[in-house]
Amino acid sequence: MAQLAGIVWTLLVALSLVASQPSANKTPVVSYSTFSLVSDGAANDQPSVRALSSPPPRPAGAAGIHRIIVKLKHPHTEGLARAETISRALQASLSAETTVHTAETTVHHLNSLSMDVVDLPLGVDAAATCEAALLASDEIDICEPDAVVATASGRRLRARAAQEPNRFVPDDPIFKEQWGMASIDMPEAWAFLSEQQQETASGADSVGKGTVVGVIDTGVDYTHPDLKDAMWVNQGEIAGNGIDDDGNGFVDDIHGWAWCDGSENPHIGDGDPMDEGGHGTHCAGTIAATANNQEGIAGVAFGRTKIIALKFLCGEDGRGSLADAVHAINYAVAMGATLTSNSWGYLGSTAYRALEEAIREAEEADMLFIAAAGNDDNDNDGPRKGYPASSELDSIISVGAATRNGEKAPFSNYGLESVDVFAPGTRIFSTMPGGKYAAMGGTSMATPFVAGLAALLWSTDPAQSYCDIKHRILSTSEKMDSLEGLCVTGGQINALKAVTCADCKWTPTEEPTAAPTEVPTQEPTTEEPSTP
Ligand SMILES: [Ca+2]
Ligand SMILES: [Ca+2]
Ligand SMILES: [Ca+2]
């Protein structure tokens, strides 16, 4: 192994880095930028709409209502004028109540009744908003909290709720910049899992614990306010006493290990995987940043997974050795990680056996190896491939980067056989060292979305095998014309479908070793969460 230590790997570069924090403290409370006219079936459904517009009394503590129904005294038939009038009327009441909510507000028009349904930012009290709006504006005729999510009676209302899944929109100020979350239906998936957890008798204790993601990268700023609570802690180790208390061969390894320190000198490693470059901290944030803490961003598997910081890339250009990558994988296996997230690699014509052996060992421990496809705009089916993503091991999920428009990012590698699926990978906001946040792009940024989703799925049922999880993620991906032919699934991951799919259990159809890459053949049978 030692002779391999000098092999230098290229970090998949971040394409753009925005140092400044986004406008977290923007003053406007309501934005109508997503104004849209909705004319779904329910709009003409008189009984349903009637129930909506004259809701039963609010149950105590109905804090989950974030929609109001508004009717103007002089209804404007033109949508934009109507939205502006409503915006003006609500602005005063919302401002009076709070000045911190910046989430976008959406207005849906109920055509047949000249009414509008307004989605309020999470945390804004719907009843209080209406009371204030009616006082503040003489243009509003009716303003009432929506009752759809508050009532459990009536089949019609249930059916409607099933058509429009609940969303959980966390209060983190940069969340509105995290377009990737909406793109994979993360708010809907969170809402579904939250409901599921509450309905499971022992849910609070048994669901959402125990998954651990090894982030093999430049380290992690484990003191970051949005990550400190998401860090794995080695319970058998006492910090700073110079003793390997748990006898795993690593002294004072509390949050992971660092195999490099950025110097040219041979480094034996230490228990301080603090991140200087930022790349690993950024990846960790997308996976597990604490959500709904009014700080920064939200991670895909927040509250349900922990991060082990496995630092093997160092220096300004983020380089590391093959041997250290193998060490990091071995450490993750030894400490019981659920999976590893690997936003690194190289473009080459051959795979390294040592690395494949390490991944195979992780596979035997039922771990997934989520890997970035690479940023060379390269066809990984060709003679040169992005490794280790393109290694032929069942437990690897190779991830390409998609743009906000659902297209392949210009830099992203692709491959009908060698890249499994795409995930958001341009202008991704996440955590940076020193309590900061920044946007970066790359298949490096797409990979943690998949790693986070895998951790989330595992948290709902830890008994699942890596094949179960991989099949669930790939078979529920959202097919897109723009991605067809560019990866195995022809699409992008979809968290809502992945958590709700009732009929995408993996069934071995061949000898486990026969197929290097699993081709999903099933369409999910349902896209909606079941209603209790
Ligand atoms: Ca130890
Ligand atoms: Ca110790
Ligand atoms: Ca947060």
Q: What is the pLDDT of residue 112?
A: 41
Q: Name the nearest CA neighbour of 446 among 458, 435, 467, 430.
A: 430
> CA-CA distances (angstroms) from residue 77 to 43, 87, 143, 452?
16, 16, 18, 45
Q: Which has the minimum average pLDDT: 39-53, 153-167, 351-365, 468-482?
A: 39-53
* 8 A C-beta contact, residue 498 and residue 189: yes
Task: Pick the ligand that lies closest to the CA of residue 181.
Answer: 3
* Cβ neighbourhood burial of 513 (10 Å; 0-12, 13-18, 19+): exposed
Structure-block tokens of residue 339: 């999976």
Measure 321 CA to ligand 3 centroid, in angstroms.
33
Structure-block tokens of residue 500: 């709700």
Beta strands in 159-281 (DSSP E): 211-217, 256-258
Q: Name the nearest CA neighbour of 445 among 418, 426, 420, 470.
A: 426
Measure 208 CA to ligand 3 centroid, in angstroms.
18
Beta strands in 181-288 (DSSP E): 211-217, 256-258
Of residues 444, 459, 475, 477, which has the active-site annotation?
A: 444
Task: Pick the ligand that lies closest to the CA of residue 240.
Answer: 2
Sign, Cα dihedral of 226, 228, 229, 233: positive
Average pLDDT, the chain: 78
Q: What is the pLDDT of residue 419?
A: 98
More confident residue, 431 or 65: 431
Q: Which has the minimum average pLDDT: 86-90, 364-368, 499-503?
A: 86-90
- What CA dihedral angle connects 334, 346, 281 and 493, to 10 degrees? -90
Active-site annotation holds for 394:
no
Q: What is the pLDDT of residue 451?
A: 98
More confident residue, 131 or 443: 443
Measure 273 CA to ligand 2 centroid, in angstroms.
15
Rounded Cα distance, 373 and 442, in Å: 10
Measure 334 CA to ligand 1 centroid, in angstroms.
11
Residue 104 has pLDDT above 50, yes or no: no
Of residues 116, 172, 217, 252, which has the active-site annotation?
A: 217
Q: What is the pLDDT of residue 125?
A: 73
More confident residue, 271 or 119: 271
> CA-CA distances (angstroms) from residue 86 to 107, 116, 209?
9, 9, 43
- Confidence band (pLDDT; 50, 70, 90) for 92? low
Active-site annotation holds for 270:
no
Task: Pick the ligand that lies closest to the CA of residue 238.
Answer: 2
Measure 270 CA to ligand 2 centroid, in angstroms.
11
At residue 360, φ and ψ (nearest 5 deg) are: -65, -40
The two most distant CA atoms of the chain are separated, in Å, by 80
Share of the chain above pLDDT 90, in %: 58
* 8 A C-beta contact, residue 338 and residue 372: no
Measure 100 CA to ligand 3 centroid, in angstroms.
15
Measure 241 CA to ligand 2 centroid, in angstroms.
5
Query: Which of helix, strand or coil describes residue 296?
Result: coil
Residue 130 has pLDDT above 70, yes or no: yes
Q: Which has the minimum average pLDDT: 30-34, 205-209, 515-519?
A: 30-34
Measure 296 CA to ligand 3 centroid, in angstroms.
5
Q: What is the pLDDT of residue 133?
A: 78
Measure 240 CA to ligand 2 centroid, in angstroms.
6
Q: What is the pLDDT of residue 354?
A: 96
3-state helix, strand, coil in the chain (%, to 5): 30, 15, 55
Q: What is the pLDDT of residue 30?
A: 26
Q: pLDDT per residue over 315-354, tens digit each?
A: 878 889 999 999 999 999 999 999 999 999 999 999 999 9
Residue 56 has pLDDT above 50, yes or no: no
* 8 A C-beta contact, residue 386 and residue 351: no
In sequence order, what are the residues at sequence separation of 6 or more whose Cβ sits closer than 8 angstroms to the Cβ of residue 141?
71, 72, 73
Work out the average pLDDT over 488-496. 98
- Confidence band (pLDDT; 50, 70, 90) for 368? very high
Task: Pick the ligand that lies closest to the CA of residue 294.
Answer: 3
Q: What is the pLDDT of residue 10?
A: 32
More confident residue, 89 or 377: 377
Work out the average pLDDT over 177-200. 93
Residue 261 has pLDDT above 90, yes or no: no
Active-site annotation holds for 279:
yes
Q: What is the pLDDT of residue 336?
A: 97
Measure 251 CA to ligand 2 centroid, in angstroms.
5
Residue 58 has pLDDT above 70, yes or no: no
In order of their start, the domains of the chain are 2-21+212-402+411-473 (3.40.50.200), 41-163 (no CATH)
Strand-strand pairing, 478-479 and 491-492: antiparallel
Q: What is the pLDDT of residue 95?
A: 56
Q: Which has the minimum average pLDDT: 76-85, 389-398, 456-465?
A: 76-85
Ion ligand 1, residues whose Cβ is below 5 A away: 237, 244, 246, 248, 250, 253
Of residues 101, 108, 109, 279, which has the active-site annotation?
A: 279
Separation of CA 61 from chain center: 29
- With tokens 């192994």, the residue in question is 1
Q: What is the pLDDT of residue 289?
A: 98
- With tokens 């999903």, the residue in question is 520
